[in-house]
């Protein structure tokens, strides 16, 4: 019996339902002090003086640290080398860290931080995505404020457009999205007298954190041990930012030789930590009347904030996904990520693709309508299948389940072209054709390149270690982290099956940089494939030792040995009574003696005298290995298959494999208030193989709700001084239980041959296609096409009002018998 | 000043200072780490405890405000190793992902089921609307509460439940 593919309960679920104290702020150390961060109040300025006198006078304050105190380099390594750890001469965004204050308790530290006087000469900030590029006077990065520019040049878009029967050209805008993980960022540094410094905290990437602390403190990697604590949600928001926190505690810990804890206040977290890049897209796409997408031309600009951090990689993913999951021979894309004086943006589920897919999937619906095709049929004529080539020229050799996800959604929902909101041609609605109940349906089909892809290929390796103990319990270590997505359980399932031991006997250590080599980040939905394969790699070595020993004990060739559920069986000999042997537990030794149990010279009952033993409890094989000092532990290493991406043409095998999805959203629009209610979402994903279907569903359900938040209610307003105005959870709205929509998660499996049991990765994907499906559904419901997110009631209401007056004007003109240009006809 | 209250069924007397938040009393001084702080402003519900059976945010309550009251934290749900039916249901239903919101959600659910042993889905949604979850999309949480309600009805009928 295998556990891979089963809905096994999460390994840590009992800990979580009892509130076990395993998160960073639950951990405390003797002599521990508390830190708080002094931050820039302005979006851009020159630091003239830092005066800590008042702060230092406060009772309980132990120190104030600035860039002057940095023993190593004042730099946080991510991709490019432009982000300081503590601002030295200039500040470039509201909230930029300038100094760290340490005190006996958190309250005192936070109060003292407010007492540090920083004299800043204000400079004019650049706040607009549009003004930033080639700004005449403000140079935040290079000469043109462009962190990165990427291109796709495929075919000949100019000639292709000339041959198109329909062309649609529009602009789209998407806002900031804040992760709003429920556990705020938190970190602890514990210095030891022997020169080791331990960093424990809420994070996705222990190795990124180690890189930062070694650089800032000027220490060897062997001296910095980073251990991930239980982490309360991340979604990309704990990818690069923990490196900052780690240095904010490591520096004072190093200087004061005391443990230091730092927990960000929610407002501080929302103000100063990374978010989804706001985006602007100019999208032109064209098709011929046979319903084939012929040309796509895109300009995609995202707002990277003050420092580049992850922006080059975010731009890469967005660029590769810009044309949607379709065949298209002629594609021209220019994408840019620009520098502005706002919070550095970074990773958020989807990583540059939700913005562009919003545009791409709205365009598909608009094109479909112009062609007179329903949105499903138009997509079906263009979606990628096995053997097809993507717009980056990558031939898809395997694992393309997109069409099945579409078919499953149609099957499950019963949608047909007649399901859409009533009567709407490319014009006005009168009272007769008005879709009175405001219900509509919207589709999106999307895809997701699994893993780091060509942009991250130098990080695309991971290590694992597995120890099978003498009592049969198993402990494994990997470099990727549990964030709530279910990684621990999935990997434990894989290990249990590899070694033929019960799931309950397998445990994972806390991810710890002193246990495995640099395994890269926990991002890009890469853990199942990368850590899964590294573990299988390690387990095979242990299995080989066990099998060799068992073969000797049973007197048969090694290839006849099979391991399953705590029993080692020699196949093809006298049929053994497997069930009888299984009665004893593997872990803890000393189970009941059973029929057919091992004992030198004993014969299974019913077997003829002289017939050989056919099975052994695994514990006996382990015992024998231990007695002979055979190693029952091993390391594993997994390197990603090769990827490529040409800098001039954007052609190459951008990702090792893709996940695929179809979303169908049913909405109801209140015409009086503009409120959009999502009634139901059908979301089907090709995941290769669901190692744990319950966890996979959980990712779909959670991602869909985050997508609904992005589509309907999440946005951050920035004022003229570069300050974010909505900085808490009552002004930045994320979906509550009352906003929860009915979700039908559907798992499709087109195995990826290189993945563990055929698994890919996919858990970012559920968020990515919801916004365009919602926008398409709103159009279906009430005939308004909104191209800016979120679809707040105000936006929808204004659009409805405008449409009403246009329709009224058109009807009046028609009634009057005059032919005139319909206002707004160029739109959509 | 002196504070006397009931904590997870036990009469408790402590010295407190005027400005101390209930969440800090629980976490720092009493070592009850199950109550989590998500926002410090009473907006996320992660710090939910029950005060005389009703869900409240411990981050915006002062310790002094619980004088004479009965407080239940997440630590008060399980009986030794035996999980409360709602806790068990959450484990079985896959309703826990990162788990940071879970203690607060569990307590809100327990309060609901005490008041409404057979809640509708809408009643569950309303009762949990003050507890934000960013991971699960809420679906399996609702299913877990419904399962717990059913299980608790069964054991009550058998005369053994809570």
Residue A143 burial (CB < 10 Å; 0-12/13-18/19+)?
exposed
Angle, vertex CA A580, rays to CA A577 and CA A581, nearest 5:
90
Identify the H or E element spanning A161: helix A157-162
Render A752-808 in DSSP notation, one character per residue: -TTSGGG----TTHHHHTHHHHHHHHHHHHHS----BSS--HHHHHHHHHHHHHHHH
Query: Which residues of A fall within a CB distance of 8 Å from B141?
Result: 737
Which pLDDT score, from 0 to 100, does residue A816 have?
65
Question: With b meaning 16 or more CB within 10 Å and e meaning fewer, what string describes A549-583?
Answer: bbbebbebeeebbbbebbbbbbeebeebbeebbbe
- Pick B91's closest partner by Cβ from A13, A19, A486: A13
| A132 close to A302: Cβ distance less than 8 angstroms | no
- Pick A183's closest partner by Cβ from B38, B125, B142: B38
Which pLDDT score, from 0 to 100, does residue A807 have?
83
Total Cβ atoms within 10 A of residue A587 = 16
Whether residue A369 has pLDDT greater than 80: yes
Query: Which residues of A fall within a CB distance of 8 Å from B126?
Result: 737-738
Mean pLDDT of B60-66: 97
Mean pLDDT, rounded, of chain A: 92
Least confident of A404-418, A422-436, A590-604: A590-604
How many angstroms separate the CA atoms of A655 and A660, rounded?
Answer: 13
Which of A21, A665, A740 has the most B C-beta neighbours within 10 Å, making it the best mutation to test the interface with B?
Answer: A740
Least Cα separation, residue A98 to chain B (angstroms) = 23
How many angstroms separate the CA atoms of A70 and A578, rounded?
Answer: 64
Total Cβ atoms within 10 A of residue A616 = 23
Angle, vertex CA A590, rays to CA A584 and CA A591, nearest 5:
20
pLDDT digits (tens, 9 = 90+) for A526-551: 999 999 999 999 999 999 999 999 99
Inter-chain residue contact A20 with B34, CB threshold 8 Å: yes
Residue A167 backbone dihedrals phi, psi, to 5 degrees: -130, 135
Which pLDDT score, from 0 to 100, does residue A754 have?
97
Inter-chain residue contact A702 with B34, CB threshold 8 Å: no
Tokens 């800990």 label which residue?
A: A15
Mean pLDDT of A24-49: 98
Which pLDDT score, from 0 to 100, does residue A434 have?
52
- Binning pLDDT at 50, 70 and 90, where does residue B18 land? confident
Least Cα separation, residue A387 to chain B (angstroms) = 35
Query: Which residues of A fall within a CB distance of 8 Å from B30?
Result: none
Query: Which residues of A fall within a CB distance of 8 Å from B124?
Result: 737
Mean pLDDT of A232-250: 98
How many angstroms separate the CA atoms of B153 and B136, rounded?
Answer: 26
pLDDT digits (tens, 9 = 90+) for A173-188: 999 999 999 999 999 9
Inter-chain residue contact A734 with B74, CB threshold 8 Å: no
Whether residue A578 has pLDDT greater than 90: no
How many angstroms separate the CA atoms of A637 and A535, rounded?
Answer: 8
How many angstroms separate the CA atoms of A526 and A538, rounded?
Answer: 18
| A84 close to A76: Cβ distance less than 8 angstroms | yes
Which pLDDT score, from 0 to 100, does residue A595 have?
31
Closest of A512, A450, A515, A451 to residue A482, by C-alpha: A512
Token reading at A375: 């949105």
Strand partners of residue A669: A676
End-to-end CA distance of chain B: 36
Which pLDDT score, from 0 to 100, does residue A603 have?
43
Which of A182, A270, A276 has the most B C-beta neighbours within 10 Å, making it the best mutation to test the interface with B?
Answer: A182
pLDDT digits (tens, 9 = 90+) for A128-159: 999 999 999 999 999 999 999 999 999 999 99
The residue with greater pLDDT, A596 or A555, is A555
Least Cα separation, residue B58 to chain A (angstroms) = 15
Whether residue A590 has pLDDT greater than 80: no
Region at A275 (left for phi over 0; alpha for psi -120 to 50; beta for the rest): beta
Query: Which residues of B fall within a CB distance of 8 Å from A484?
Result: 97-100, 135
Query: What number of C-beta contacts closer than 8 Å exist between A and B?
Result: 175
Least Cα separation, residue B159 to chain A (angstroms) = 25
Query: Which residues of A fall within a CB distance of 8 Å from B109?
Result: none
Query: Which residues of B fall within a CB distance of 8 Å from A19?
Result: 33-36, 73-75, 102-103
Strand A742-748, strand A676-686: pairing: parallel
Mean pLDDT, rounded, of chain B: 97
- Which residue in chain B has the smallest CA separation from A693? B94
Query: Which residues of A fall within a CB distance of 8 Å from B37?
Result: 25, 184
Whether residue A55 has pLDDT greater than 70: yes
Whether residue A346 has pLDDT greater than 50: yes
pLDDT digits (tens, 9 = 90+) for A722-771: 999 999 999 999 999 999 999 999 999 999 999 999 999 999 999 999 99
Total Cβ atoms within 10 A of residue A171 = 12
Token reading at A477: 């270590």
How many angstroms separate the CA atoms of A76 and A63, rounded?
Answer: 22
Query: Could you tell me which residues come within 8 angstroms of residue A236 by beta carbon, excluding any fewer than 6 positions away?
Result: A179, A204, A274, A346, A347, A348, A349, A351, A523
Least Cα separation, residue B99 to chain A (angstroms) = 5
Total Cβ atoms within 10 A of residue A201 = 28
Render B63-123 in DSSP notation, one character per residue: GGGGTT-EEE-GGGTSBTTBPPHHHHHHHHHT--SS-SSHHHHHHHHHHHHHH-SS--HHH
Query: Could you tell me which residues come within 8 angstroms of residue A393 by beta carbon, excluding any fewer than 6 positions away?
Result: A154, A649, A651, A652
How far from chain centre, in Å, is Cα A204?
Answer: 10
pLDDT digits (tens, 9 = 90+) for A269-283: 999 999 999 999 999
The residue with greater pLDDT, A811 or A707, is A707
Token reading at A394: 């990558």
**Collapsed DSSP state (helix, strand, coil) of residue A283:** strand
- Which residue in chain B has the smallest CA separation from A487? B97
Tokens 């000393």 label which residue?
A: A590
Least Cα separation, residue A747 to chain B (angstroms) = 16
Residues 255-294 of A with CB under 8 A from B: 265-266
How many angstroms separate the CA atoms of A552 and A555, rounded?
Answer: 5
Angle, vertex CA A741, rays to CA A680 and CA A737, nearest 5:
175
Whether residue A115 has pLDDT greater than 60: yes
- Which residue in chain A has the smallest CA separation from B142? A737
Inter-chain residue contact A184 with B39, CB threshold 8 Å: yes
Which pLDDT score, from 0 to 100, does residue A819 have?
47
Above pLDDT 90, what percent of chain A?
87
Inter-chain residue contact A737 with B103, CB threshold 8 Å: no
pLDDT digits (tens, 9 = 90+) for B117-146: 999 999 999 999 999 999 999 999 999 999
Least Cα separation, residue A535 to chain B (angstroms) = 23
Query: Which residues of B fall within a CB distance of 8 Å from A238?
Result: none
| A491 close to A478: Cβ distance less than 8 angstroms | yes
Region at A806 (left for phi over 0; alpha for psi -120 to 50; beta for the rest): alpha
| A427 close to A737: Cβ distance less than 8 angstroms | no
Which pLDDT score, from 0 to 100, does residue A811 have?
74
The residue with greater pLDDT, A712 or A592, is A712
- Which residue in chain B has the smallest CA separation from A268? B39
- Binning pLDDT at 50, 70 and 90, where does residue A215 land? very high
Query: Which residues of B fall within a CB distance of 8 Å from A680?
Result: none
- Chain B within 8 Å of A15 (Cβ-Cβ)? yes
Whether residue A612 has pLDDT greater than 70: no
Which pLDDT score, from 0 to 100, does residue A567 have?
85
Q: In what order do the strands lie in the sheet with B2-7?
A: B10-15, B2-7, B70-72, B48-51, B54-57
- Binning pLDDT at 50, 70 and 90, where does residue A817 land? low
Q: For residue A90, how many C-alpha atoms fall within 13 Å in the half-sphere facing its CB?
A: 15
Inter-chain residue contact B98 with A232, CB threshold 8 Å: yes
The ipTM of this complex is: 0.98
- Binning pLDDT at 50, 70 and 90, where does residue A615 land? confident
Closest of A122, A106, A70, A116 to residue A720, by C-alpha: A122
pLDDT digits (tens, 9 = 90+) for A502-520: 999 999 999 999 999 999 9
């Amino acid at each position: 019996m295998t556990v891979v593919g089963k809905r096994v309960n999460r390994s840590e679920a009992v800990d979580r339902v009892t509130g076990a104290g395993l998160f960073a702020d639950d951990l405390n150390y003797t002599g521990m002090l508390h830190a708080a961060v002094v931050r820039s109040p302005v979006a851009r300025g020159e630091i003239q003086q830092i005066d800590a006198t008042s702060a230092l006078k406060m009772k309980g304050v132990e120190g104030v640290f600035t860039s002057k105190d940095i023993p190593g380099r004042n730099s946080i390594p991510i991709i490019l080398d432009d982000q300081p750890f503590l601002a030295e001469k200039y500040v470039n965004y509201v909230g930029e860290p300038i100094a760290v204050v340490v005190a006996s308790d958190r309250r005192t530290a936070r109060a003292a931080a407010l007492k540090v006087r920083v004299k800043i000469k204000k400079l004019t900030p650049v706040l607009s995505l549009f003004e930033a590029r080639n700004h005449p006077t403000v140079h935040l990065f290079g000469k043109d404020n462009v962190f990165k520019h990427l291109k796709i040049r495929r075919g000949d878009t100019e000639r292709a457009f000339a041959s198109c029967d329909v062309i649609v050209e529009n602009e789209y805008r998407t806002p900031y999205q804040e992760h709003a993980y429920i556990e705020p960022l938190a970190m602890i540094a514990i210095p030891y007298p022997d020169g080791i410094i331990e960093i424990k905290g809420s994070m996705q990437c222990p190795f990124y954190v180690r890189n930062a602390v070694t650089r800032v403190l000027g220490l060897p990697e062997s001296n910095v041990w980073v251990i991930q604590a239980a982490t309360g949600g991340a979604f990309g928001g704990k990818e690069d930012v923990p490196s900052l926190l780690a240095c904010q505690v490591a520096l004072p810990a190093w200087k004061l030789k005391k443990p230091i804890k730092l927990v960000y206040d929610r407002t501080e977290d929302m103000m100063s930590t990374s978010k989804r890049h706001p985006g602007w897209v100019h999208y032109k796409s064209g098709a011929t009347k046979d319903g084939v997408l012929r040309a796509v031309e895109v300009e995609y600009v995202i707002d990277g904030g003050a420092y580049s951090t992850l922006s080059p990689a975010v731009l890469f993913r967005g660029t590769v996904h810009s044309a949607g999951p379709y065949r298209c021979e002629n594609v021209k894309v220019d994408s840019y990520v620009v520098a502005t004086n706002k919070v550095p943006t970074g990773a958020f589920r989807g990583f540059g693709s939700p913005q562009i897919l919003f545009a791409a999937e709205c365009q598909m619906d608009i094109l479909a309508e112009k062609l007179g095709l329903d949105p499903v049929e138009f997509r079906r004529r263009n979606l990628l299948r096995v053997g097809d080539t993507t717009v980056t020229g990558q031939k898809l050799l395997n694992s393309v389940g997109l069409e099945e996800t579409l078919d499953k959604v149609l099957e499950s929902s019963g949608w047909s072209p007649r399901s859409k909101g009533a009567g709407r041609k490319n014009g006005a609605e009168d009272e007769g054709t008005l879709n009175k109940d405001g219900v509509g349906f919207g589709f999106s089909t999307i895809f997701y390149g699994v893993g780091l892809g060509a942009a991250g290929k130098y990080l695309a390796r991971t290590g694992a270690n597995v120890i099978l103990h003498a009592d049969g319990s198993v402990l494994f270590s990997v470099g990727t982290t549990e964030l709530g997505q279910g990684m621990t359980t999935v990997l434990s399932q894989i290990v249990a099956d590899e070694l033929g031991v019960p799931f309950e006997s397998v445990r994972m250590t806390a991810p710890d940089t002193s246990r495995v080599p640099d395994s890269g980040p926990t991002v890009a939905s890469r853990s199942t494939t990368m850590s899964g394969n590294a573990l299988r790699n390690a387990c095979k070595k242990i299995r080989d030792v066990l099998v060799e020993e068992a073969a000797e004990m049973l007197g048969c060739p090694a290839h006849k040995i099979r391991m399953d559920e705590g029993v080692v069986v020699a196949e093809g000999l006298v049929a053994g009574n497997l069930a009888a042997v299984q009665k004893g537990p593997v872990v803890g030794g000393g189970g009941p003696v059973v029929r057919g149990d091992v004992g030198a010279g004993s014969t299974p009952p019913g077997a003829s005298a002289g017939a050989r033993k056919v099975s052994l409890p695994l514990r006996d094989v382990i015992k024998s290995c231990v007695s002979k000092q055979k190693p029952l532990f091993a390391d594993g290493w997994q390197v990603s298959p090769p990827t490529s991406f040409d800098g001039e043409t954007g052609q190459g095998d951008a990702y090792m494999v893709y996940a695929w999805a179809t979303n169908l959203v049913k909405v109801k629009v209140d015409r009086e208030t503009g409120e959009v209610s999502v009634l139901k979402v059908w979301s089907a994903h090709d995941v290769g193989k669901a190692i744990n279907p319950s966890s996979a569903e959980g990712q779909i359900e959670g991602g869909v709700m985050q997508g609904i938040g992005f589509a309907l209610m999440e946005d951050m307003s920035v004022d003229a001084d570069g300050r974010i105005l909505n900085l808490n959870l009552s002004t930045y709205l994320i979906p509550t239980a009352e906003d929860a929509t009915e979700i039908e998660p559907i798992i499709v499996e087109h195995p990826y041959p290189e993945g563990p049991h055929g698994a890919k990765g996919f858990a970012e994907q559920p968020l990515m296609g919801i916004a365009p499906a919602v926008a398409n559904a709103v159009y279906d419901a009430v005939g308004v096409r909104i191209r800016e997110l979120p679809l707040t009631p105000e936006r929808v209401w204004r659009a409805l009002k405008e449409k009403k007056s246009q329709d009224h004007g058109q009807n009046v003109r028609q009634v009057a018998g005059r032919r005139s240009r319909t206002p707004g006809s160029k739109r959509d | 000043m002196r504070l006397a209250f009931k904590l997870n069924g036990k009469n408790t007397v402590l010295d407190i200072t005027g400005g101390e938040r209930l969440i800090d009393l629980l976490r720092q001084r009493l070592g009850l780490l199950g109550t989590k702080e998500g926002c410090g402003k009473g907006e996320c519900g992660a710090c939910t405890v029950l005060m005389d059976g009703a869900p409240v945010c411990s981050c915006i309550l002062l310790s002094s405000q619980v004088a004479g009251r009965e407080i239940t934290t997440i630590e008060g749900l399980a009986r030794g190793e035996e999980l409360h039916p709602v806790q068990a249901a959450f484990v079985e239903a896959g309703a826990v992902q990162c788990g940071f919101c879970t203690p607060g959600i569990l307590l809100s659910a327990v309060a609901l089921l005490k008041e409404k042993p057979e809640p509708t889905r809408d009643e569950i949604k309303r009762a949990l609307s003050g507890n934000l979850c960013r991971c699960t999309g809420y679906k399996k949480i609702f299913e877990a509460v419904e399962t717990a309600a059913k299980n608790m009805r069964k054991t009550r009928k058998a005369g053994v439940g809570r």
